[in-house]
Amino acid sequence: MMKNTNGKTGLFIPGPTNIPDCVRQALNVPMQDMRAPDFGDLTLPLFADLKKVFKTETAEVFMFPGSGTAGWESCLSNLFSSGEKVLMSSFGQFSMLWVDMAQRFGLNVHHCEVEWGLGIPHEEYRQILEKDTNHEIKGVFACHNETATGVASDIGAIRSILDELGHPALLCVDGVSSIGSLDFRMDEWGVDVVVSGSQKGFMLPTGLAIVAVSQKAMEMRGEANLPRTFLSYDDMMKTNVTGHFPYTPATQLFHGLRASLDFIFEEGLENVIARHTRLAHAVRAGVHAWGLELCAKESENYSDTVSAIVVPAHIDSAEVLKTAYYKYNMSLGAGLNKVAGKVFRIGHLGDLNEIMIVQALAGAEMAMRDCGINIELGSGVAAAQETFIDQTAAASIAA
């Protein structure tokens, strides 16, 4: 099948996300000397402003050349030792991969396997931590937003459990598809490590693993015995203090990040979060108007950055993706692993607005109808439009 190449490809995957023109243009700069004495003029303000996005005043921020996976590895290798006990859960592709990484590093993983479509098993975590009276569990891991299933979980609730039990384990969070898009409060929630990536809410190409580490976690790194070199927090800190790096950094991405942060702050971080909630409500209204279900099973866990939509049992969702891509020049997210062929995903994070959401729903409707899914054309689009109109009217009344 030949791809329709007219116009721009509609990009509605949950990352990489659309890049604003100002950010894309900021990336187009000549190469520069990363060891120049004034290089810190670019990078030091980035470290400071990233703290505002993570909502932390005291954490150390690191920018590694890599994806979110590199950030996961930095957390494990810098803060834990082989054989140490950690508490983890998997309920989607990415939470599962972090568990797999920890097991490969030789950590003793207490693995809570959860049905895909549900979130972090808070009560199970509580029961396990209650029994750990000797505090052998050194880390509690949580995926804030499971991209594969469109499930967001309550991180603050995990901190409450740890505090109620007086448990000293580090709280380590995957925020790759939530930071810069969903409400996240590192200091308030007592998060010790949070991992993010440049290609999601920061609206950049893939290439930066952006990690924030609490002072409590930094003080514990000397006890960890896992090997690390490229992802060493110690090596980074020695040079980051002047805005430099222990090896050649992703300089052009730093210029893009500067523009991205300015873009976020101009809109206002709280407004960015509210916009993601508004767009997500419209997508979910469209899905329900189609008569379809979300992979996320409980409304309190619906993600505001990505929706995974379950197709009828006789349909292969991969065909919906192919049709959307080749016939309508639009990219939707694939179902991964256990939900491969069963769901397709609409990413609604980053540089998006109401009209773009309507475009995504319209394209998905046509692709689904072409693949034999019996939906009424325009139903999801109309439901989203009504949501946007209602929201606009409510905002006008409130003003």
> What token pair was written down for 159?
């901190």
Nearest CA among 198, 191, 197 for reference residue 73: 197
Query: The whole model's pTM is what?
Result: 0.95
d(CA 149, CA 147): 6
The segment(s) of the chain belonging to CATH 3.90.1150.10 are: 10-17+267-398
The ranges of the chain annotated as CATH 3.40.640.10 are 28-252
Asked whether the beta carbons of 239 and 44 are under 8 A apart, the reply is no
Q: Which CATH superfamily is domain 10-17+267-398 in?
A: Aspartate Aminotransferase, domain 1 (3.90.1150.10)
Q: Which fold has domain 28-252?
A: Aspartate Aminotransferase; domain 2 (3.40.640)
Which pLDDT belongs to residue 395? 57
Longest pairwise C-alpha distance within the chain: 63
- Cα separation values, 349 from 9, 181, 270, 332, 357, Å: 16, 7, 14, 13, 10
Instruction: Calculate the CA 287 to chain-centre distance.
Output: 22
**pLDDT tens, the chain, 399 aa long:** 777 778 888 999 999 999 999 999 999 999 999 999 999 999 999 999 999 999 999 999 999 999 999 999 999 999 999 999 999 999 999 999 999 999 999 999 999 999 999 999 999 999 999 999 999 999 999 999 999 999 999 999 999 999 999 999 999 999 999 999 999 999 999 999 999 999 999 999 999 999 999 999 999 998 899 999 999 999 999 999 999 999 999 999 999 999 999 999 999 999 999 999 999 999 999 999 999 999 999 999 999 999 999 999 999 999 999 999 999 999 999 999 999 999 999 999 999 999 999 999 999 999 999 999 999 999 999 999 999 998 765 554 444
